Structure 1
């Protein structure tokens, strides 16, 4: 299993656009093969900071997701809406039964 955690700071005045894009992305991604979890949330201490949490069956599922049109379109859209480069961490774990 691969867990991905992302953190991005939203540019002033762009939060609504990021939230809309994130909602569409989450809905599209949850049906990707191997996706166990895909969520966005606001940091409780800083609502202008968006956190993403993803859980994938394996690296192949994550790589396939990264190649999908909805992923490349999302990344192209939000690049101008966030400050700097989002921080992403990748964690390989043992498989977990999520049922």
Structure 2
């Protein structure tokens, strides 16, 4: 299993857009082969979101990164985020 945790911060005026984008990619990704869990949580007092993903194996994660919905999500973040996302990967 592979656990991915991360965070991203939106520009203040783009917070709602980031949440909508995260919701959309989460819904699409939960059906990906090998996806055990894929969720986001929005901070109540900031413009940050936290992501937690759990993948069956490297092949499933790699396939997810090639999916159209994932590529669309990544491309849509241009101009939305105030900084580069921070991601951590842990093999369980």
TM-score, structure 2 normalization:
0.94
Name the residue aligned to 1:4: 4
Q: CA RMSD in A?
A: 1.0
Structure 1 moving runs of 4+ over 6 Å: none
Name the residue aligned to 1:63: 62
Deviation at 1:19, TM superposition (A): 1.0
In 2, Cα distance between equivalents of 1:79 and 1:87: 15
Does residue 38 in structure 1 map to residue 38 in structure 2?
Answer: yes
Q: How many residues align?
A: 92
In 2, Cα distance between equivalents of 1:19 and 1:62: 22
Q: Residues 45-84 of structure 1, C-alpha deviation per residue, up to 9 Å, x if partnerless?
A: x431110000000011000000000000000001320112
Alignment of 1:55-94 (within 5 A): 55-93=54-92
Tell me which protein shows more helix as a share of its residues: 2
Instruction: In structure 1, list runs of 5 or more residues that go unmatched.
Output: 94-99
TM-score, structure 1 normalization:
0.88
Instruction: In structure 2, list runs of 5 or more residues that go unmatched.
Output: none
Q: Residues 8-36 of structure 1, C-alpha deviation per residue, up to 9 Å, x if partnerless?
A: 11111101111111111011000000000
